[in-house]
Amino acid sequence: MVSLRSLIPGQGSSSSPSISVVLPAFNAEHFLEGTLTSMLCQSLSAWELLLIDDGSRDRTAEIGRRAEAADSRIRLITQPNAGVSIARNRGVAASRAPLIAFLDADDLWHPDKLLAHVERHRSDPGLGVSFARVEFLTPAGRPTSLVASHPKLPLRP
């Protein structure tokens, strides 16, 4: 796994992100560095990450402060524990980009995830929502070959 300290801070532009990523986190210290590393490894650099610490009692906010200091695209927002929905809504309210993505504190993203979504939305301006298939990993981060299937019926936003 890539260390947060080893990544070049300030890649990309935080002044005009193409996409805002909202990451609610509650007591997520065991997963958060891996999740942040998967964000920092995105091939698309024009993003902002809003890390909402939802009143964690572990080192979640400390990890968030370090990430915020290392990369200007990351903003830590802290709040008393109010639940994941309120944390997500707070992140959306603080976002600056025309597109919003949601990232859970224990998820890892493929390096081209954001690029694929942004390009898809640029190619179809009427598109309101996009999603990708999900592969489940073991707690150690190894692929399980279990992939969430697509819905049988078309989804509507």
pLDDT of residue 151: 64
pLDDT of residue 150: 67
pLDDT of residue 146: 84
Q: Residue ranges of the chain with pLDDT lower than 50? A: 1-14
**Cβ contacts of 24 within 8 Å, gap of 6 or more:** 52, 54, 84, 87, 88, 91, 104, 105
In sequence order, what are the beta bridge partners of 74? Answer: 49
Q: Are strands 143-147 and 135-137 parallel, antiparallel or unpaired?
A: antiparallel
- Dihedral over Cα of 93, 97, 102, 108: its sign: negative
pLDDT of residue 155: 61
pLDDT of residue 148: 80
pLDDT of residue 152: 67
Q: Are strands 47-54 and 74-79 parallel, antiparallel or unpaired?
A: parallel
Distance CA 33, CA 55 (A): 18
